[in-house]
Structure 1
Amino acid sequence: MGLRKLVTFAALAAAVTFSGTAGAADTIRIGDINSYKRLPAFTIPYRQGAELAIEQINAAGGVMGKPLELISRDDQGKPGEAVRYAEELFAKEDVVMITGSLFSHVGLALSAYADQKKRLYLAAEPLADALVWAKGNRYTFRLRPSTYMQVAMLAEAAAKSDAKRWATIAPNYAYGKDAVAAFKKILKARKPDVEFVGEQWPALFKIDAAAESQALEAAKPDGIFNVTFGSDLTKFVREGTLRELFNDRTVLGLLTGEPEYLDPLGAEAPKGWIVTGYPWSEIDTPAHKQFVDDYQAKFNDYPRVGSLVGYNTLLSIAAALEKANSTDTEALVDAFKGLSLDTPVGPITYRAIDHQSTMGAFVGLTDVRDGKGVMVDWSYRDGAAYLPSDEEVRKLRPADGS
């Protein structure tokens, strides 16, 4: 049964329990490594999305006649722990590949492990550009639209604004650094007369929001590019609003429109920011509505971006297994290159040249309705339209024999 038909099996999913095949000798095991305790707002929905996909896949007969099983480990946001669990999953749990991880520094560590040990790793969530370019390798693929892709979507909007003097604020690690570098490069190419007048680099989840806001205000920018997320975003929005930092300025928020980060703000959510995010309740395509209905029926909750990523991750793995007709690592790697499949947000392809999927993102404006932060005036941007050319990728990515 083709993976493109999976969304039609929602009615069967309720009859299958996620743990029902655990320990079966003929189960295809997938290793899942993620920061469940460090950032549960994203990772728990991720795991739930993965569980839903597995139930539907298994209800439809599994892959190669075998059910899938997800074996999870918590890396605590630490690269060393992630690599240790990767080794354990392959050695003791007999997984055919690993997937997951949220933080970019953890994803880069797992990518290096995959390259060294010749094990397949599907990076579901890490956004660092180096994962598929500067440090890309044969054994690593990525699902989510990368930092570069989402920044390019926001830079497109920034170039159309009147803002010429820009300041940035981003967490001081791989993801934040990639985001700011990409924003400067892309915006400067689109609008050569822009200036960058300030940079703030708070430590991840240790932001001094008052000091950061004061420094940004002192730079007198016309626009602010914000890359903070999680608890850092909440503190920054509250302090910036109190100090009227965002008044009469163009503000861009990378990931700010995702429910994981927008919902905790409630009525304090900013208005008029240009953001990437996920307006789950407003997307009315049949495939996405079916996904939402299935997710709500199983978990009595609404999906977040993590839910969608987890779901698409397992759909991707099942499609690769089906294409390869094998659990052999090299066969699966070859199957992932150029792999195409349908998802609740449309078709995606894993590009052979850099192993990046073309999954896109939603871009729109933030607003407040009924005391909750929402995205309005949004549209879906196809990821393929925001990736560099093959010629550029060849310069960015090492020759790895892939």
Structure 2
Amino acid sequence: MNKPMARLRRWTATAALLALSTGAGLPAGAAEAPIRIGEINSYKAQPAFLEPYRRGWELALEQVNAAGGVNGRKLEVISRDDNGNPGDSVRAAEELRTREKVDLLFGGFLSHTGLALTDYAKQRKIFFLAAEPLTDKITWEQGNRYTFRLRPSTYMQVAALIPPAAALDKKRWAIVYPNYEYGQSALQSFKALLKQAQPDVEFVAEIAAPLGKVDAGAVVQALADAKPDAIFNILFATDLTRFVREGNTRGLFEGREVVSLLTGEPEYMDALGGEAPTGWTITGYPWYAIDTPYNRQFVADYQARFNDYPRLGSVVGYASLMSIAAGLRKAGEVDTEKLVDAFRGLEVDSPFGPILYRALDHQSTMGVYVGKSAVQDGKGVMVDFDYIDGADLMPPDDTVRELRPATE
């Protein structure tokens, strides 16, 4: 062999070793390539909740990647807006899967878009973590192998409110709800569970309002005409703001107890300011008063990063991405079937405390804060609250098995 050829072969071998050590020349999908995660949500339709939610998962993404990523790979999130429309949700999912080549999906806010993504995950056999949609069908009637859910379901949220509602010992109840899947599900759960706890209860009015288009004057008048002893409110976001303001103006809440889903979430309470209701029994996130190490650190990190305080959406976004990172670590690789198996029984810490994704129905045990509404310094807050662990808000396992189709 002549000397130039020998030098060429030594250079080629050295270059090959250098390429292996730096990742240069490796095929797509090699360990150094990021794990691509698709995220879909209704940012334009529900900005009050979803802008803090986006910040939450962005903070988690930064923290995971700063710590070296997962299994030697960084995470990358590719996000799409579904305009609050189930059809757009599915189209976004298909584009993320086929064009962007994402490895898994997460997100969803409204229950009907969440159900569309749940079905998409089943049909395409792609992992989907439903971050926010509350409808029970996601993990029960329409549950499938590839779908998990982080937030407490509608049933769980309502179940957390039943003991204080029953303790009011009010016989005549009226209910106002947004007329779509979440509202209809919450209505049925409240009626069934309160009837169990208080057999003599009567439901004297059920007022349905179109989502995002409540006629607050008509709703308040209908409730007043029914002369209830207590009101169960399921409205949220701008519908809640209009309802509370109109009810305050007309004196609807004077002398009446009100039990209300989601009202204590800062994204909704903040919009009311000094007009926030007082003395209502509510669910929410009193970030300013939860004195646990994890929540204190989360609040500090969030404030340092965004110069703002977290909302409930911030927790949901953060815990969703952290759950995905934990599941990927446990799976050991980006494989859909292995990731599904890893999530069944997965334990994750969160600002709400430790949670577990149940193998039985893929529902996490994230719990619910229940307390009273108040106004302090011209701002609505949550006081006298307790945390109810999600594991204590589930129906019996046999009931879940009857509701959920065989998926394995």
Is the shorter-chain TM-score for this pair beyond 0.5, marking a shared fold?
Answer: yes
Residue correspondence of structure 1 range 216-227 to structure 2 within 5 A: 216-227=223-234
5+ residue gaps, structure 2, are: 1-30
Aligned to 1:76: 83
Who is 2:160 aligned against?
153
Q: How does 1:129-168 map onto structure 2 within 5 Å?
A: 129-168=136-175
What pairs with 1:45-124 in structure 2 (closer than 5 Å)? 45-124=52-131
Equivalent in the alignment of 2:27: none
CA distance in 2, matches of 1:165, 1:134: 31
Q: What secondary structure is seen at the aligned counterpart in 1 of 2:328?
A: helix
In structure 1, the residue corresponding to 2:232 is in which secondary structure? strand
Separation in 1, partners of 2:34, 2:163: 46
SS in 2 for 1:170: strand
Note if 1:280 corresponds to 2:283: no
Residue of structure 1 equivalent to 2:42: 35
Give the counterpart of 1:255 among 233, 250, 262.
262
Letter in 1 for 2:388: R
* Rounded Cα–Cα distance in structure 2 between residues aligned with 1:388 and 1:172: 25
The answer to whether residue 254 in structure 2 is matched with residue 265 in structure 1 is no
State the Cα distance separating 1:208 from its structure 2 match.
0.5
Select the residue among 283, 287, 305 that pairs with 1:298.
305
1:195 to 185, 191, 202: 202
Q: TM-score, normalised by structure 1?
A: 0.93
Measured in 2, the distance between the counterparts of 1:80 and 1:385 equals: 35
Query: Could you tell me which of 357, 360, 370 is aligned with 1:350?
Result: 357
Where does structure 1 lack aligned partners over 5 or more consecutive residues? Answer: 1-23
> Equivalent residue for 1:213?
220
Which residue of 1 is the match for residue 244 of structure 2?
237
Q: Aligned letter for 1:274? A: T
Residues of 1 paired with 2:62 and 2:54: CA distance? 12
SS of the residue 1:310 aligns to: helix
C-alpha distance in structure 1 between counterparts of 2:138 and 2:349, whole Å:
24
What amino acid maps onto 2:367 in structure 1? G
- Deviation of 1:345 after TM superposition, in Å, equals 1.6
1:70 and 1:35 map into 2 onto residues whose CA distance is: 16
Fraction of identical pairs, as percent: 62
What SS class does the counterpart of residue 349 from structure 2 fall into?
strand
Which deviations, in whole Å up to 9, do the C-alpha atoms of 1:296-341 show, x marking residues without a partner? 0000000000000000001100010011101111111111111111
What amino acid is the match of 1:47? R
Distance 2:108 2:365 in 1: 19
Q: Is the 8 A contact 2:32 2:72 kept in 1?
A: no
Task: Please tell me the residue identity of whatever aligns with 1:168.
Answer: I
How many residue pairs match? The answer is 378
Give the residue type in structure 1 aligned to 2:71. M
Q: Secondary structure at the match of 1:280?
A: coil
Greater gyration radius: 2
Paired residues of 2:37 and 2:78 also in contact (CA < 8 A): yes
2-structure distance, mates of 1:95, 1:160: 49
Structure 2: how far apart are the matches of 1:286 and 1:333?
A: 30
Q: 1-side partners of 2:250 and 2:402: how far apart?
A: 44
Deviation of the 1:25 alpha carbon: 6.1
The secondary structure found in structure 2 opposite 1:94 is: coil
1:142-190 CA-partner distances (Å, limit 9, x unpaired): 0001111010111111111121111100000000000000001111111
Q: Return the offset for 1:376.
A: 0.6
CA contact (8 A) 2:214 2:239 kept: yes
Equivalence for 1:184: 191
Map Cα deviations across residues 76-97 of structure 1 (whole Å, 9 max, x no partner): 1011111011011111112111
1:311 pairs, out of 313, 318, 335, with 318
Other structure's SS at 1:346 match:
coil
Contact 2:32 2:73 in 1 (8 A): no
After TM superposition, give the deviation of residue 243 of structure 1 in Å: 1.2
Q: Report runs of 4+ in structure 1 exceeding 4 Å deviation.
A: none
Q: Secondary structure at the match of 1:276?
A: strand
TM-score (norm. length: structure 2): 0.92
Name the residue aligned to 1:20: none
Paired residue for 1:371? 378
SS of the residue aligned with 2:288? Answer: helix
SS state at 1:281 partner: coil
**Aligned-partner Cα distance in 1 for 2:301–2:128:** 28
Give the Cα separation in 2 of the matches to 1:196 and 1:155. 15
Aligned equivalents of 1:170, 1:216: Cα separation in 2? 12
Query: Cα deviations across residues 219-241 of structure 1 (Å, max 9, x unaligned)?
Result: 11111000001110000001111
Aligned partner letter, 2:342: A
TM-superposed CA distance for 1:399, in Å, is 1.3
Taking the aligned partners of 1:95 and 1:68, their CA distance within structure 2 comes to: 11
